Amino acid sequence: MTFPAITAFYAALLALLFVGLSGWVVAGRLSSDVLHGDGGDAELQKRIRCQGNFAEYVPFALLLIALLEASGGSLALVRGLLVVLLLARLLHPVGMLAPKNAPRQFACRGGGIIATFGVTAVAALALLVRTA
């Protein structure tokens, strides 16, 4: 097993994105004067869900990709999965802020989560093939 250096690099980029999303939530809380929850503020709720969605999906996807890389999986596949994951997580908040039923909402939010699901599924299947 080797150190998953490619995954570590993208994990660092994704961590910075998470810090940015977290700061965005804090700024929303300050401007809305809300210490806990969303205070009924729809904009703050969207920010919280962008951050929460990231926290729910990204660590597991990164874990699977890191295991794939560490087990000697294809570096092209690993890098491809990580690039798609990073792009997906950048697109998702853009779509969350789009007006309801707007094309941008479907393309960015929908595309971001579908791409995240796809990355997770492909990483899991590739890891199963490598370890079976």
Mean pLDDT for each 10-residue chunk of the chain (132 residues)?
94 98 96 91 93 97 98 97 98 90 92 97 97 88
What's the token pair of residue 68? 């794939």
- Residue appearing with tokens 């990231």: 54
What pLDDT sits at residue 132? 86
Do 49 and 108 form a contact (C-beta atoms < 8 A)? no
- Indicate the residue type of 14: L
Element containing residue 13 per DSSP (H, E): helix 5-32
Residues, the chain = 132
Predicted local distance difference test score (pLDDT) of residue 97: 87
